[in-house]
Structure 1
Amino acid sequence: MTRPRGAVRLTRYGLLQTDRATDLLTGDPLSFWDIDKAAPLDETAAGILAELGAVGDPDLALLSLHRLAAADPQVVSELRGDRGLRRRLLGVLGASAAFGDLLAARPELWRELTDPGAYAHRPDHGELRQALLAAVGAKDGESIRNGCAMAGVTGPAAVLALRQEYQRRLLCLAARDITGASGLDVVTAELADLADALLQAALAVATATLAPGRPEARMAVIAMGKCGGRELNYVSDVDVLFVAEPVDADTDPAAALRTATTLASSMMRICQQAAWPVDAALRPEGKDGPLVRTLASHRAYYEKWARTWEFQALIKARPAAGDLALGREWWDMVSPLVWRAADADGVVADVRAMRRKVLDHLPPGDAAKEVKLGPGGLRDIEFAVQLLQLVHGRSDPEIRSGNTLEALAKLRDGGYVGLADGAALGDAYRFLRTVEHRLQLQRLRRTHRIPDDSDGVRWLARTLGITGSAEKGPVEAFLDQWAQVARQVRRLHEKLFYRPLLEAVARVPSEAYRLSPDAARSRLGVLGFADPASALRHVEALTSGVSRTAAIQRTLLPAMLYTFADSPNPDAGLLAYRKVSELLGRTPWYLRLLRDSGPVAERTAQLLGASRYVADLLSRDPEALQLLADDAELAPRGLDTLLTAMLAAADRSTEPVAAVTAVRTLRRRELLRIACADLLQLLDVREVGQALSDVADAVLEATLRAAIRGVTTERGAPPPVRVAIVALGRLGGQEIGYASDADVLFVHEPVGGAGDAEAAAAAIAVAERVQRLLAARSVDPPLTVDAGLRPEGRQGPLSRSLASYEAYYRRWSSVWEAQALLRARVAAGDPEIGERLLWIADDLRYPENGLDPAGVTEIRRLKARVDSERLPRGADPALHTKLGRGGLGDVEWTIQLVQMQHARQVPAPGLRSTSTLDALEAAAEAGLISRHCAADMVEAWKLASRVRNALMLVRGRPSDQLPRYGADLAGVAWVIERETEDPQAFVDRYLRTARHARRAVEDIFGA
């Protein structure tokens, strides 16, 4: 059936119920539509219909307008002549069925929207208070009794008078809100002011109904929640608590309290009958506690019994009605307790648990529709803001506002929240509160739930001014915007609410924020800073001034100082932090990273206070601090990834020095990554050795390529050789430390018909350039390429051909050279050449019939010589990690002897591993050494390797000697064990472990 032409035309004005709309628009009282022409009756009617089509629900607005016009036909002529009235009145009617009902019942109220001046006027708190009091015949300061003016109108007449004045004020406010004349901040503040005024007027009525002769009392009404924060909803319980005192010393306190309780109960009843419920459940002990308490009773409760959520609620408390002087006295008493609440243990965890509890109690279906309580809703913003306030408000009075948007702005200005994050949360809060307001205006009912039906969502979207686009209608456009806001709020909530820095700051006592310089120096000394005066100068340099940088440092440092204090060297850590901060202080991401990004601030303080090595690396590459934000960033990058990055860096320059400089820069970043992960106990000692060896392999590969390119440039042609670098020693075993040299062999083969001499000269030129490029002076840690284990040692050629190696090893090699080859593996260069050298080495390092007695005797003799001659003068043989008793040398010589004796005959692939630990495990598995001896040697080798690494990390320079006392020992003990309070206990542990290993070595090596 074809729709009538008039119906089609009406849908252009957003009217969907076209039959009813035709009836309502045609004839009295509206007469806007010409049914014969299927068009507006005239140009003015067309303008009214166009305005009607722009409102949230045009059908609802038209029906409500028809009802209003039937009650007061004058509204139609006013609409024709007043465009402003059209926008205001139709906007209200299209947004709220409740206001449509109100105007039908009280048609005179539409005139409140006719005067542009009166309509645009924003009444202040005093004006609203006087208006509501006047409605019940009371004035401020008149007939003061019990802290409030007495009303002249009481009973049902008073309730009606309050309700009507409240409705009138609410209508004007809603019109300004819907038309955009007043923003959210103004609307919520005015709603709170209106609530204050109603509380005051209701109290006046309650006072007037008191029986004569009742004892008098001073009583204050304290607003809580959104009313207390001056950010009230259209429809909400008004949260309050009451405080009362006798009017003078002659009044019986108990009798005065009974009077105040009667007043409070009566006031609450009047408010509920006139406008909304008053909820006093946030009072001490909740609904189980007395409705009214004295100042002393409040103090006793909050000092002894109050829980975290109660202090959180008090952030928004303010005197609202009654005896305001008493209210201010109450607040002056309670406020210090609020801002000391975060000193208690577990406050941060308590607030987080409360938020989770709210979410857990939401039915699953409701959570997805809730703009207030659901994930990504208003509560997420409010809880994040309040937790930040509780923690940081102890030292910064500027952020103590009870208003969410004001507090958020202050947190942003004070550096506690990032500028972008603060702006995003503010925008999201305004959007969600506006959605909440539109939902409540529809029927003036308390709700925070998005409608389930598309018609309801369409109405909501249109009242928000969301009309959609050609691609998306208003429903889809709103749902997309809401989902985007919710995701952003949830992300920022988790970022701020679960920020580890909050817990660290909460552990700092409040008095630490308010110390005089002398007291601050004393506190720093107590914390463990050896030079408190210098530490204080560093703190002052970082925090002085009014810049945002200084503000954020003032947020960070209290907690960081305690972390520095827990580290081995607080003074060095704080100095290093100052240097890094001065290098990066103006970098936009730096302080934001420390404040917002997970554990970065705490980790920075830990690492700088523990490791000079890290401090030195970080001072040269401060941007690497970003690695600390994520454990995944601290995971070592595998060899393939390192090769790709370093070869690309080397290839960006044809000049070898520049190419290797770029490679060494990347190595510095990787060393820092590994050192940080090591210190944070994210890697064990084997993983550290593997990671450092991968870095060395990649550096050798990239440097070899650059060296070949350099030789090519000098010769004018590529060198006629294929070159490989074979790793030996700890690099061969993939177990190097931070200060280890790269022990290598260079091996080559001629290509292109080159003679042996020409090929050797070219290969040696390449090898020398590799050594020279990596030994060049630089700000980066050196990697010494040591070829001293080659045939004939330093007297022999730097590189040999495969044939030369084979001839030497068959005729001239010593037992120690065979032993050195046990850890040979291909590290860089031509893999085929390297593998062929290893094949040649196999007959030497894994003798066919095992090591003969003469060979065993020779190894024992060499070991004894090393023990007696190589130990540095003055070294303590019990604590020398490399050459001492039960140290690395003992373990490695022992397992290498076992390998040379049995690796050819015993079918255990692990016995031929270049890894010390793998070879020990394989020897125990094959029964060549006892499990007990293997376990003792493994433990000793790991501990000695960790100590060696820790010495480098702590001191920033290599050492093999574990000190018996002093700061370095304390640092090593902290790095390895963290919880060791007595470093001497760590020395005892090392000695015990080494003794056990030494016994195992003697059992095996001397057998």
Structure 2
Amino acid sequence: MTSAPGRRSSIFTRLLRHGFTDPSAAERLLDSPELAAVRDDPVLLDALGRAADPDLALLGLVRLLEAQDGHTARQELLDTLIAAKPLRDRLLGVLGASAALADHLARHPTDWQALVTYEPRDLHPGVEEFERGLAEADDPVSLRVAYRRCLLSIAARDVCGTIEIAQTAAELADLATATLRAALALAAAAAPEDAALCRLAVIAMGKCGGHELNYVSDVDVIFVGEAVNGADEDKALRAATRLASHLMRICSETTVEGSIWPVDANLRPEGRNGPLVRTLASHLAYYQRWAKTWEFQALLKARPVAGDLTLGAEYVAALQPLVWGAAERENFVADVQKMRRRVVETIPATEIDRQLKLGPGGLRDVEFAVQLLQLVHGRADASLRSGTTLDALKALATGGYVGRVDAAQLDDAYRFLRSMEHRIQLYRLRRTHLVPEDETDLRRLARSLELRTDPVATLTREWKRHASVVRRLHEKLFYRPLLDAVAALATGEARLSAEAARERMVALGYADPAAALRHLEALASGVTRKAAIQRTLLPVLLGWFADSADPDAGLLNFRKVSDALGKTPWYLRLLRDEGAAAENLARVLSAGRLAPDLLMRAPEAVALLGDGDGGLRPRSRAALEQEMLAAVRRADNAVQGVTAARGVRRRELFRTSAADIVGSYGTESQPAEADQGALVDLVGGAVSDLTAATLAGTLRAVVREGWGDTLPTRFAIIGMGRFGGHELGYGSDADVLFVHEPRDGVDEREAAEAANKVVSEMRRLLQIPSADPPLLIDADLRPEGKSGPLVRTLTSYEAYYRRWSLVWERHALLRAEHVAGDEELGRRFIELVDPLRYPANGLDDEAAREIRRLKARMESERLPRGADPKLHAKLGPGGLSDVEWTVQLTQLRHAAREPGLRTTRTREALSAACAAGLISSDDAAILDEAWVLATRVRNAVMLVRGRAGDTFPTAPRELGAVGRYLGYGPGHAGDMLDAYRRTARRARGVVEELFYGGA
């Protein structure tokens, strides 16, 4: 026989193992007379151990046994408890999760029998079953008791997992419905004369209306009244008001049995200042004239639940068109977003981190995001018109308005957070949305959610994880840029109906409306999810295409990209979800030929148009070179390596051109780039870096195939012209010099042969026919020009420049900069040429006259016959050549004394000349403006036509597209040309003084 101390030690250990936190108190309770017959039954201890709070469950069980009426009743409860597992799990589950329901059972000790009947998983009570459960209540007190008994059965199914959270919330809403009906019946019975005068409909709002009620919550309602049998309307409304007021008191007032829940009618027109009951006509008049945006959002969940259900249905039917047209109100989306922000701002700072409902990442974030999407898209898609958050979320995902992964994550997070909220409220049956701080409360909460390993830490981690997901997706969905654009569309427009579609296309500026409609039909017809997403995107995209000079090309290009990426799951999701991706794509596809052509050859580059992972920000030269060298290493031969490098170049040219277009056009959320010089610098730097990286990759591919790891001679590439100046345009050639130096022990002839072979092979590989923009290597600025060798040793360069260099070569070397190959050799070359390009004694008059003669000859020989010189961006008066030669003449004269002038970049040198007092600030500003404008004209021509050019196009659409890029709207091409002439004329005046005046 076990000794008493031994037995206590054994029980103590078992209690700890089963999750009791106060085993001494539990042991005393187990030793109480009420449990004498079952204290050693392992079934009971195991069942208690499964409860959220075993200590609370045991205490509740003892209290319930103590409350039984005599030994027989107590024994019946114990026998049933031990024999019937469903009852055992339900009763102890409730007692371990809810002190409030334990109190109820202690006051009403026979109500445990409501848990005896086992219901299969697929059988759940609805409004009628709950009405039967409340039928015997004939006064407010008995109604409260009956209500708690019904609540007990819901809680039992909930804590045992027989029903999941959505079904629990739906059952709670059905119980509320039955309770409202019972309360109205009591009110009508108390005042039959009032009931005879009026029809009264009770409309559930909020969570009750949405079939997603909490355990403890205000039940939001709106009352609608009408006169019956010819009764006076005023008398009928007063009678209806008395009935409604009595119903509210029955549910809200506190008695010895507590209260049921507050009935809140403040969502009615004019809130608490408005009449409690209105006629249907009065409601309709208010919503048509005075209602605010939030009131339509609230009506989304309106559902008739009690009283005259026919009148209630008439109310909902009358208001539905207003609800689903609310998104057309001015500033609708912004108003909803502001309202959500105001809610967050009202949360006390001490509570915000514990708020499950209202705080960032809380339940309201999910609900507001879902409701906003419903109201915007539900006008044209009736499948979205559910008042239940999770059902609406599922419909949004099915319809393609929300990504499946996003919807699944939101669904999971919402269910978890609602489960937390339910279990917190269930404990005391108090209306709260704050996560407790007490360790015991947190432990019980975690165990009620089946988080039993390190429960408090696990609960905290899971809660924060879900809240983080909600916050991220709320920001993504709730502030989605497309929403404003979709909301601004008329309903018929959003549906893309065929009716008047041709006129619509013509009005938007589509030159071939029939072709446009064929594209729309191909993209948006059918019942697939892809078509559904396209139907959401296209109305907005059509407007953005129409904001360009060639809407037809934009739509056609969009169809081509969509066809190419149609089976790619991320494509439409990106456009729908990721920031300004859709608008960026629309701008890019309708701005000309270059960017769309690049995109067609690499459609996956659409991903760059989103906001994440760098988006349209050009990558650094180091990152580009690293990627290209890695691609070359993976290739089997030089041809494949250079092909891979050209693929990177294609993608990055698209990135740069897209950034240029978006910055020039602007978006609805981001205006056009005010500093046009910044866009010029962005393009020039990005294209120059990309060209340098491409040459580095090509050089590596050639050396790797011909010589393995090491070339017999050191080899460097020097950028010249716009390349060296970081000012390349989309179609610029790469002006370069090649320099080499034999390695120790290598014969000079062998080294020269290797260097010449490298140059020859690089040029061959880069000239292999391709649809990509060409990358031509031009080495004509080398010593002796086309007559000289392509590549020289550093010693040969030194000898040539010392003995034979001409003024034009010193002038050309102002742009020299090492761009690829051996860095040490490149540095030494730059050190070699610095004294030539920055002469210590400046420039004598004869050399200055020679430079002027060279410029005049270049312009007379190279200006195309028949071209209007005043509109030639490169060689015309006030064009690039004028500004650059003026700046370079200043550098040759003064760079030896002014270090700021020792730069290869035109705008930097111009700024330094101004800072040094060599050029006035006014003159510098005029030259800078002209240079930036001329550069943008050349970039625009390449973007629009897909081929390089120095003059404005003559075709009206192309000229209009250049104008749009430069910030001129439709019909203002003439203004653009006048502005160019005016800017160039002012610049030419400065050039005449500074370059030709001999200053």
Q: TM-score range by the shorter chain?
A: over 0.9
Indicate the residue corresponding to 1:766 in structure 2.
Answer: 758
In the aligned structure 1, how far is the partner of 2:101 from the partner of 2:746? 100
- How far 1:518 sits from its partner (Å)? 4.1
Return 754-763 or 764-773, whichever deviates more. Answer: 754-763
In the aligned structure 2, how far is the partner of 1:160 from the partner of 1:941? 87
Mapped pair 1:124 → 2:104:
no
In the aligned structure 2, how far is the partner of 1:213 from the partner of 1:960? 87
Mapped pair 1:334 → 2:319:
yes
- How far 1:290 sits from its partner (Å)? 0.8
Helix, strand or coil at the partner of 1:651: helix
In the aligned structure 1, how far is the partner of 2:28 from the partner of 2:755? 102
In the aligned structure 2, how far is the partner of 1:916 from the partner of 1:167? 83
- How far 1:228 sits from its partner (Å)? 0.2
- How far 1:881 sits from its partner (Å)? 0.5
Indicate the residue corresponding to 2:685 in structure 1.
Answer: 690
Alignment of 1:89-100 (within 5 A): 89-100=91-102
In the aligned structure 2, how far is the partner of 1:818 from the partner of 1:341? 70
In the aligned structure 1, how far is the partner of 2:741 from the partner of 2:636? 25
Indicate the residue corresponding to 1:446 in structure 2.
Answer: 431
Indicate the residue corresponding to 1:24 in structure 2.
Answer: 29
- How far 1:425 sits from its partner (Å)? 1.1
Structure 2 CA distance for partners of 1:847 and 1:460, relative to 1, 3 Å: closer
The runs of 5 or more residues in structure 2 that have no matched partner are 69-73, 254-258, 664-672
CA deviation string 1:610-657 (max 9, x = no partner): 132111111111112222223733222222222222222223235221
In the aligned structure 1, how far is the partner of 2:592 from the partner of 2:953? 16
Mapped pair 1:316 → 2:301:
yes
Alignment of 1:543-558 (within 5 A): 543-558=524-539
In the aligned structure 1, how far is the partner of 2:244 from the partner of 2:48? 45
Amino acid at match of 2:425: Q
Indicate the residue corresponding to 1:229 in structure 2.
Answer: 210
Alignment of 1:324-363 (within 5 A): 324-363=309-348
In the aligned structure 2, how far is the partner of 1:158 from the partner of 1:455? 38
Structure 2 CA distance for partners of 1:217 and 1:944, relative to 1, 3 Å: same
Indicate the residue corresponding to 1:651 in structure 2.
Answer: 633
Mapped pair 1:892 → 2:884:
yes
In the aligned structure 2, how far is the partner of 1:752 from the partner of 1:19? 89
Structure 2 CA distance for partners of 1:895 and 1:70, relative to 1, 3 Å: closer
Helix, strand or coil at the partner of 2:992: helix
Indicate the residue corresponding to 2:459 in structure 1.
Answer: 478
Q: 1:660 aligns with which of 630, 642, 646?
A: 642
Helix, strand or coil at the partner of 1:234: coil
Structure 2 CA distance for partners of 1:70 and 1:676, relative to 1, 3 Å: same
Indicate the residue corresponding to 1:516 in structure 2.
Answer: 497
Indicate the residue corresponding to 1:705 in structure 2.
Answer: 700
CA deviation string 1:211-237 (max 9, x = no partner): 648872222111000000011111111
In the aligned structure 1, how far is the partner of 2:268 from the partner of 2:809? 84
In the aligned structure 1, how far is the partner of 2:423 from the partner of 2:27? 28
The runs of 5 or more residues in structure 1 that have no matched partner are 34-39, 137-156
In the aligned structure 1, how far is the partner of 2:554 from the partner of 2:599? 12
- How far 1:541 sits from its partner (Å)? 1.2
Indicate the residue corresponding to 2:66 in structure 1.
Answer: 70
Structure 2 CA distance for partners of 1:890 and 1:219, relative to 1, 3 Å: same
Helix, strand or coil at the partner of 2:714: strand
Indicate the residue corresponding to 1:154 in structure 2.
Answer: none
Amino acid at match of 1:194: L
Helix, strand or coil at the partner of 2:951: coil
Q: CA contact under 8 A between 2:195 and 2:243: conserved in structure 1?
A: no
Mapped pair 1:60 → 2:62:
no
Alignment of 1:814-825 (within 5 A): 814-825=806-817
Indicate the residue corresponding to 2:522 in structure 1.
Answer: 541
- How far 1:342 sits from its partner (Å)? 1.0
Alignment of 1:217-256 (within 5 A): 217-248=198-229, 250-256=230-236
Indicate the residue corresponding to 1:501 in structure 2.
Answer: 482
Q: CA contact under 8 A between 2:184 and 2:307: conserved in structure 1?
A: yes
Structure 2 CA distance for partners of 1:71 and 1:838, relative to 1, 3 Å: closer
- How far 1:956 sits from its partner (Å)? 1.7
Indicate the residue corresponding to 1:401 in structure 2.
Answer: 386
Q: 1:81 aligns with which of 83, 90, 93?
A: 83
Helix, strand or coil at the partner of 1:352: helix
Q: CA contact under 8 A between 2:202 and 2:307: conserved in structure 1?
A: yes
Structure 2 CA distance for partners of 1:955 and 1:82, relative to 1, 3 Å: same
Amino acid at match of 1:852: D
Indicate the residue corresponding to 1:37 in structure 2.
Answer: none
Helix, strand or coil at the partner of 2:351: helix
CA deviation string 1:483-505 (max 9, x = no partner): 22112221221121122222222
Amino acid at match of 1:103: L
Structure 2 CA distance for partners of 1:658 and 1:259, relative to 1, 3 Å: same
Helix, strand or coil at the partner of 1:207: helix
In the aligned structure 2, how far is the partner of 1:119 from the partner of 1:110? 20
Q: 1:577 aligns with which of 555, 558, 578?
A: 558
- How far 1:201 sits from its partner (Å)? 1.9
**Equivalent pairs, count:** 966
CA deviation string 1:852-876 (max 9, x = no partner): 3333333222322333332112212
Amino acid at match of 1:618: L
In the aligned structure 2, how far is the partner of 1:721 from the partner of 1:20? 89
- How far 1:786 sits from its partner (Å)? 0.8
Q: CA contact under 8 A between 1:29 and 1:76: conserved in structure 2?
A: no
Amino acid at match of 1:326: L
Indicate the residue corresponding to 2:136 in structure 1.
Answer: 135
Structure 2 CA distance for partners of 1:181 and 1:651, relative to 1, 3 Å: closer
Helix, strand or coil at the partner of 2:863: coil
Q: With structure 2 as the length reference, what TM-score do the two structures score?
A: 0.92
In the aligned structure 2, how far is the partner of 1:272 from the partner of 1:926? 82
Mapped pair 1:183 → 2:173:
no
Q: CA contact under 8 A between 2:188 and 2:195: conserved in structure 1?
A: no
Indicate the residue corresponding to 2:174 in structure 1.
Answer: 193
Q: CA contact under 8 A between 1:879 and 1:991: conserved in structure 2?
A: yes
Structure 2 CA distance for partners of 1:92 and 1:793, relative to 1, 3 Å: same
Indicate the residue corresponding to 1:853 in structure 2.
Answer: 845
In the aligned structure 2, how far is the partner of 1:408 from the partner of 1:276? 28
Helix, strand or coil at the partner of 1:1006: coil
Q: CA contact under 8 A between 1:895 and 1:920: conserved in structure 2?
A: yes
- How far 1:659 sits from its partner (Å)? 1.4
- How far 1:197 sits from its partner (Å)? 1.4
Mapped pair 1:258 → 2:260:
no
In the aligned structure 2, how far is the partner of 1:849 from the partner of 1:84? 103
Indicate the residue corresponding to 2:141 in structure 1.
Answer: 160
Return 788-797 or 261-270, whichever deviates more. Answer: 788-797
In the aligned structure 1, how far is the partner of 2:640 from the partner of 2:119? 74
Amino acid at match of 1:762: A
Structure 2 CA distance for partners of 1:939 and 1:329, relative to 1, 3 Å: same
Q: 1:985 aligns with which of 970, 975, 981?
A: 975
Amino acid at match of 1:739: G
Q: With structure 1 as the length reference, what TM-score do the two structures score?
A: 0.92
Q: CA contact under 8 A between 2:635 and 2:641: conserved in structure 1?
A: yes
- How far 1:508 sits from its partner (Å)? 2.1
- How far 1:739 sits from its partner (Å)? 0.5
- How far 1:130 sits from its partner (Å)? 5.1
- How far 1:389 sits from its partner (Å)? 0.8
Return 81-90 or 15-24, whichever deviates more. Answer: 15-24
Amino acid at match of 1:774: L
In the aligned structure 1, how far is the partner of 2:159 from the partner of 2:194? 49
In the aligned structure 1, how far is the partner of 2:43 from the partner of 2:174? 36
- How far 1:549 sits from its partner (Å)? 1.5
Mapped pair 1:957 → 2:936:
no
Q: 1:617 aligns with which of 585, 598, 607?
A: 598
Structure 2 CA distance for partners of 1:171 and 1:843, relative to 1, 3 Å: closer
Indicate the residue corresponding to 1:639 in structure 2.
Answer: 621
- How far 1:314 sits from its partner (Å)? 0.8
CA deviation string 1:101-120 (max 9, x = no partner): 21222122111222225998
Helix, strand or coil at the partner of 1:658: helix
Mapped pair 1:871 → 2:882:
no
